[in-house]
Structure 1
């Protein structure tokens, strides 16, 4: 079964919009795990507009499943990851002012930098994943960095699927086959939803984990958080 890691950034966004501690991020994380999700994902950004660095520290004692921290490996982020020691760190090349992640790494131009960062995380027992597009050259270069996994950036698939073009899955199938051949684990995320997740899961070989936040939280407004988590788990079997 492909693991479901729930990104709780949107819970922090809602909390921060009013101040105080409603909704309680730590309780939501604990509840999501009790509903059956196999992981919690956060993506702290330098401006702390949703997840705060202190949230990352506080979640250490709450996350009993897989703890995944995403972000651009600037020094403050590296220091945070080394302090909290999550199960996995997902390296994302987003700009400081990015609304959301919108591109994978150029692993050719950044190979030396990524290799150095990944080595430091590996030395501390932290699994690494590189956020990446479906570009064979970039996947091949990613394998040379020493990363454990790649996370396929799935916006293009989701957009094609919404328009009725199921052939949009093909680059992801081919990329997953190549990544597995190169010894890389395969994660995926971005714009995956209840509508498209079953089709994606059924077609991508060796899919270890998906990280889903915006769609899952939005769907929960209508269907309820516990119900939605279990709907995803059912589709991922």
Structure 2
């Protein structure tokens, strides 16, 4: 079984930086340190208002990192042009409108099939691996394969909520979805509200998981444990 990769989302680090209008904390330095501490990749999700990650951060990290850069976002024309210029390792498409506080749903890949088909082809033509944010609807996952995406990212908020309420069986739809996606030839990522409490169970039960992207909880934990210890603890959850 391949090792599950941990991509650390640094949006909340960028948010702290932006609150004072200066380069503190230095996002590039934090990214490099996260990699030195064991992160397999870095994720950023620049929003149109640049309230946390900025477009300039994408260009900076692309040239300074030796690990995979995953750029998330809604596929506006401006976003797609940036992807074509930067050429990150992976682009993850999310259906968030510009005013959304955070990602809160997966794509309806049936309703948006032809829109996404053209966008996925455009991303792949730039030499970038394409991923689509989806829920555990098997029809939507099958449509994602028909669209031609390389991977899906399972939206895990429902699992995290149910697990915190004492329902570990909430992982079952994700396990089924991951197995189904693998049968279709899709890579499987996951993210949203995964944390030190629920990650190990998720990683143990969900087959064929290639990567998890974790930001908010990891940055919160780092306030208590420090970044190095926090990343090591998340990696232990994935290894166990």
Same topology, TM > 0.5:
yes
The partner residue of 1:202 within 197, 201, 204 is: 204
User: After the TM superposition, which parts of structure 1 deviate over 4 Å for at least 4 consecutive aligned residues?
Assistant: none
Aligned counterpart, 1:145: 147
Report what 1:96 is aligned to: 98
Which of residues 172, 192, 198 in structure 2 aligns to 1:190? 192
User: In structure 1, how many angstroms separate the alpha carbons of the residues matched to 2:170 and 2:65?
Assistant: 35
Say if 2:138 is the partner of 1:136: yes
What does 1:1-237 correspond to in 2, within 5 Å? Answer: 1-237=3-239
> What TM-score do the two structures reach when normalised by structure 2?
0.98
Cα displacement string for residues 31-60 of structure 1 (whole angstroms, at most 9, x for unaligned residues)? 000111100000000111101111111111
Q: Secondary structure at the match of 1:6?
A: strand
> Does the Cα contact within 8 Å between 1:29 and 1:62 map onto a contact in 2?
no
Unmatched runs of 5 consecutive residues or more in structure 1: none
Report if the CA contact (8 A) 1:92-1:131 is conserved.
yes
Deviation sequence 1:201-236 (CA, Å, 0-9, x none): 000000000000000000000010000001111111
| Residue deviations 1:137-162 (CA, integer Å, cap 9, x gap) | 11011110100000000000000000
Q: How many Å separate the matches in 1 of 2:166 and 2:130?
A: 34
TM-score (ref. length: structure 1): 0.99
Aligned-residue RMSD, C-alpha = 0.6
Secondary structure of the residue that 1:134 maps to in structure 2?
A: coil
Give, in whole Å, the separation in 2 of the partners of 1:120 and 1:58. 23
User: How many positions carry a matched residue from both structures?
Assistant: 237
